[in-house]
Amino acid sequence: MGSSRLPGKVMMQIDGKNPLLYYAIKQNKVSKYGKNLVIATTTKPEDDIIEEYVKKNNIMIFRGSSENVLDRYYQCAKKFSFSIIVRLTGDNPFNDPTVIDAMIKKYQNNSFDFISTGGDSRYYPEGIGVEVFSFDILEDAWKNAILPSEKEHVTSYFYNNPQKFRCHFEKCEKNYSSFRWTVDREDDLQMVREICKRIKKSPILIKDIINLFEKESQLRKINSNHIPNEGYIKSLKEDEDFLKSKN
């Protein structure tokens, strides 16, 4: 609930009845592995509403640090004895369950330590964010991460240490990286509302939104003026300040 750019976003209404978090949960629960879904939120009183909503919908919940998200993930995984973690975020309401399942299968069938739909040369739309990794490397990051960005963005330590981990960055068949389906600003929320107003099927897949945009190309203009990964860029600036303070 403590988003600096759009406070309370995960509980904002999308269709007059259901909040953003409803769509994130619904999409992810369709995955073959959705029965093990845990919402990891903070211990701040403002997030009590998330706990209430999640419990009412029979979803497991964990509450931890608001500042050190890496620690929150680690403590959550430890509590539930997870050996493999799939990282999804509540501000991505259209994570495609077929992508989630394919990523988990690829992880299980290969010797990667970490696989992601992101990376510097990502092809997936911003808002399709799936990362799979083991508890062992999460613990490694938890023990060794120093930078503020590594503690805020959970998996940054893996990206920063490619020589240490076997990383794989998955691409889709076409480059859709200019599409923005995540929610960070008010116009992002409006985009999600427009998509949900037009696509009534469940789950909503990547191809469904692409097909919609091909028919109604003007929709892309709703939130087309944002800098990708704005939050992460801000964190990198905090890293610089942190390192300067250590000198």
Average pLDDT over residues 71-85: 99
**39 found inside a domain:** yes
Closest CA relative to residue 87, chosen from 97, 98, 68, 73: 73
- Provide CB contacts within 8 A for 26, sequence distance 6+: 202, 203
**20 found inside a domain:** yes
Q: CA angle, 14 as apex, 90 and 193 as ends, to 5°?
A: 100
- Provide CB contacts within 8 A for 44, sequence distance 6+: 1, 2, 66
Domain encompassing residue 233: 9-246
**227 found inside a domain:** yes
Average pLDDT over residues 72-98: 98
Structure tokens at 195: 């998509």
Per residue in 120-173, pLDDT (tens digit) is 889 999 999 999 999 999 999 999 999 999 999 999 999 999 999 999 999 999
**33 found inside a domain:** yes
φ, ψ at 180 (rounded to 5°): -125, 110
**1 found inside a domain:** no
Strand partners, 20: none
Per residue in 172-209, pLDDT (tens digit) is 999 999 999 999 999 999 999 999 999 999 999 999 99
Which has the higher per-residue pLDDT, 230 or 184?
184
Average pLDDT over residues 67-75: 98
Average pLDDT over residues 215-238: 85
pTM of the shown model: 0.93
| CA 99/CA 105 separation, integer angstroms | 10
In this prediction, residue 10 carries a pLDDT of 96
**153 found inside a domain:** yes
In this prediction, residue 1 carries a pLDDT of 60
Closest CA relative to residue 74, chosen from 12, 157, 143: 143
Domain count, the chain: 1
**118 found inside a domain:** yes
Whether 156 contacts 63, CB under 8 Å:
no
Task: Quickly tell me which residue has 């981990």 as its tokens.
Answer: 165
**3 found inside a domain:** no
**What's the CATH number where 211 sits?**
3.90.550.10
In this prediction, residue 238 carries a pLDDT of 80
